[in-house]
């Protein structure tokens, strides 16, 4: 498999053979297998939130933030589902990771599971594009090897969802056997599903899984582990990012005009060597280019308005 050729194809949203996907996923698995549950990354690095198959916006993200040729990135998960190009977005990131292993860190999101992708579009996308589910299975195998978190310069903790009542220290995350489908409860589930909120203590999440956690839990966690920031994604933020709890936690959202209908902007967060935070805001690509050709297909496979 020629990596650069595949990257060119993927960037254009073109079809990649089943065989190529198989090899790509296998090589990615070998690479990910050796990563710890929580990986260490040095500054400067750009933190990216949910992508959700919005390939064209992912390309904008790389363009506007300097590109993988010269910069390091941490992706906080939710590469797939909802958008039209889940496969291309996920594979492009895998290709970049294989091509520049130390510049891309990929953390697992709550959508990187068999169960959720069957409901939220990735599975259907593969059936539409390949007529069988093989490619979906290859990708799900990779999902199981994605790491659960990252730590930047020992000071910034990156995770998809948030905290867990079962996790006080990073060592407890290191002890998880992550190579499995995301369980419905427990530490691994919470890291991928929980949300910060104005609550006094651990509370039930309005989602089907995870917990709500508040300022107390965040401060406790930061103090115990000597961190200054939790960077997470998982929740749509209309302004692209949102800091909470006196700057102890930030939500970064990187899918502009989410689901092609929400009208939000997106953001990425660059952590400098000084640990200064620089947010870069970007908007969605237009549905058509300037000569009227569709960039994003408008014949949507699913209905998304109440009519």
Partner 1 sequence: MDRAVQQTDYDAFSCKISAINKKYLPCQKELEFCEMKGFSELHMAYVHRLKSLNKRAFGKVQRAVQSGLPLMNYGTYLRTVAIDVECKSFLQNAASNSKVQVLNLGCGSDLRMIYFLEQYPHLRWIDLDFAESVSLKAKILRTEEQLKKVVGELRDASETEYVSDRYFLKSCNLNNIEKVLELLTEITDPEVPTLIITECVLCYMDLPKSQALIHKLISLYKSGTWISYDPIGGDDVNDKFGSIMQTNLRESRQLELPTLMVFNSTKKYAQRFEEVSKSTEIETMWQYYVRQVTQEEKNRLKSLQFLDEIEELQLIFSHYVLLKSSW
List of residues contacting partner 1 (CB under 8 A): 81, 110-111, 115-116, 119-121, 124, 206-209, 235-238, 257-263, 287, 298-307
Q: Which of 253, 225, 227 is nearest to 239 (CA)?
A: 253
**Least distance from C-beta 87 to partner 1, angstroms?**
17
| Closer to partner 1 by Cβ: residue 108 or 111 | 111
| Closer to partner 1 by Cβ: residue 9 or 146 | 146
Which residues on adjacent β-strands are paired with residue 48?
A: 75, 268
Q: How far apart are CA 207 and CA 4, in angstroms?
A: 40
**Least distance from C-beta 237 to partner 1, angstroms?**
8
Query: Active site includes 111?
Result: yes
| Closer to partner 1 by Cβ: residue 97 or 160 | 160
Beta strands in the chain (DSSP E): 38-41, 45-48, 73-75, 104-106, 149-152, 156-158, 195-196, 203-204, 211-213, 229-232, 241-244, 249-252, 266-271, 277-282
Cis check: omega of the bond before 44, within 30 degrees of 0: yes
**Least distance from C-beta 305 to partner 1, angstroms?**
6
**Least distance from C-beta 213 to partner 1, angstroms?**
15
**Least distance from C-beta 133 to partner 1, angstroms?**
14
| Closer to partner 1 by Cβ: residue 48 or 296 | 296
Catalytic residue among 56, 111, 160, 234: 111
> Given the DSSP bridges, would you call strands 266-271 and 38-41 parallel, antiparallel or unpaired?
unpaired
Q: Which of 121, 150, 120, 139 is nearest to 36 (CA)?
A: 150
> Can you tell me which residue has the tokens 């994604």?
233
| Closer to partner 1 by Cβ: residue 93 or 233 | 233
Tokens of residue 156, six digits: 């910034």
Tokens of residue 282, six digits: 């970007």
Q: Please identify every residue annotated as catalytic.
A: 111
């Amino acid at each position: 498999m020629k990596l650069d050729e595949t990257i060119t194809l993927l960037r254009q949203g073109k079809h990649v053979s089943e065989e190529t996907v198989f090899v790509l996923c296998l090589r990615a698995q070998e690479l990910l297998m050796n990563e710890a549950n929580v990986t260490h990354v040095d500054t400067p690095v750009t933190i990216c939130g949910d992508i959700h198959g919005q390939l064209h916006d992912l390309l904008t993200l790389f363009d506007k933030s300097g590109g993988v040729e010269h910069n390091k990135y941490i992706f906080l998960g939710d590469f797939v589902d909802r958008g039209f190009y889940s496969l291309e977005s996920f594979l492009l990131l895998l290709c970049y990771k294989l091509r520049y292993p130390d510049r891309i860190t990929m953390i697992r999101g709550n959508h990187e599971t068999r169960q959720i992708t069957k409901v939220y579009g990735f599975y259907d996308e593969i059936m539409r594009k390949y007529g069988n589910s093989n490619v979906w299975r290859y990708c799900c195998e990779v999902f199981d090897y994605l790491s659960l978190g990252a730590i930047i310069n020992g000071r910034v903790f990156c995770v998809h969802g948030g905290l867990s009542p079962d996790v006080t220290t990073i060592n407890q995350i290191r002890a998880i056997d992550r190579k499995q489908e995301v369980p419905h409860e427990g530490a691994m589930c919470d890291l991928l599903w929980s949300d910060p909120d104005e609550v006094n203590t651990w509370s039930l999440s309005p989602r089907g899984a995870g917990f709500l956690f508040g300022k107390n839990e965040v401060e406790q966690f930061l103090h115990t582990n000597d961190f200054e920031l939790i960077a997470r994604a998982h929740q749509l933020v209309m302004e692209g990012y949102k800091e909470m709890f006196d700057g102890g936690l930030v939500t970064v959202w990187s899918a502009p005009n989410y689901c092609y209908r929400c009208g939000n902007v997106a953001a990425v967060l660059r952590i400098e060597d000084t640990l200064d935070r620089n947010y870069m805001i970007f908007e969605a690509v237009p549905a058509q280019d300037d000569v009227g050709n569709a960039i994003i297909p408008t014949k949507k496979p699913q209905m998304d308005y109440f009519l």
